[in-house]
């Protein structure tokens, strides 16, 4: 499985995206504090989500005493953007160019 597959798989879940957003706002949080933000799911379920995110390289962890702290690592997102999403930019640029032409030169009768 490629890194892009791992990243997209991790991002496919709304809870994992919410965890990433939480870590984006607050740098470095213990697992328990992350789980406290998701009262609708169990702490073990949050731990499983963190394992998926760590396997995709989207979070890194380090021990602080008895706690494991997690922090966002956005580098895999940049890699996916550069290596995969970038190939779609010409399509969007073409579409925007057509929209601009239609807006600046509307056709009669439409």
Query: The domain that contains 90 carries what CATH number?
Result: 1.10.10.10
Write out the DSSP string of 84-110: TGGGGHHHHHHHHHHHHHHHHSPPTT-
Residue indicated by tokens 């994992």 = 16
At 69-95, the pLDDT tens digits run: 999 999 998 888 887 777 777 777 777
DSSP helix/strand/coil, 72: strand
- pTM for the full model? 0.75
Q: Is 12 a domain residue?
A: yes
Q: Is 68 a domain residue?
A: yes
d(Cα 108, Cα 105) in Å, to the nearest integer?
9
Residue 23's pLDDT is what? Answer: 96
d(Cα 54, Cα 50) in Å, to the nearest integer?
6
What is the domain extent for residue 58? 3-104
At 6-33, the pLDDT tens digits run: 999 999 999 999 999 999 998 889 999 9
């Amino acid at each position: 499985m490629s890194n892009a597959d791992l990243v997209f798989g991790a991002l496919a879940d709304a809870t994992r995206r919410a965890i990433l957003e939480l870590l984006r706002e607050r740098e470095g949080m213990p697992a328990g504090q992350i789980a406290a933000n998701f009262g609708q799911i169990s702490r073990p379920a949050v731990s499983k989500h963190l394992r998926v995110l760590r396997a995709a390289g989207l979070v890194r962890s380090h021990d602080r005493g008895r706690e494991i702290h997690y922090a966002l690592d956005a580098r895999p997102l940049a890699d996916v953007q550069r290596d995969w999403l970038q190939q779609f930019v010409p399509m969007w640029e073409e579409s925007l160019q057509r929209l601009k032409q239609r807006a600046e030169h509307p056709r009669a009768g439409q």
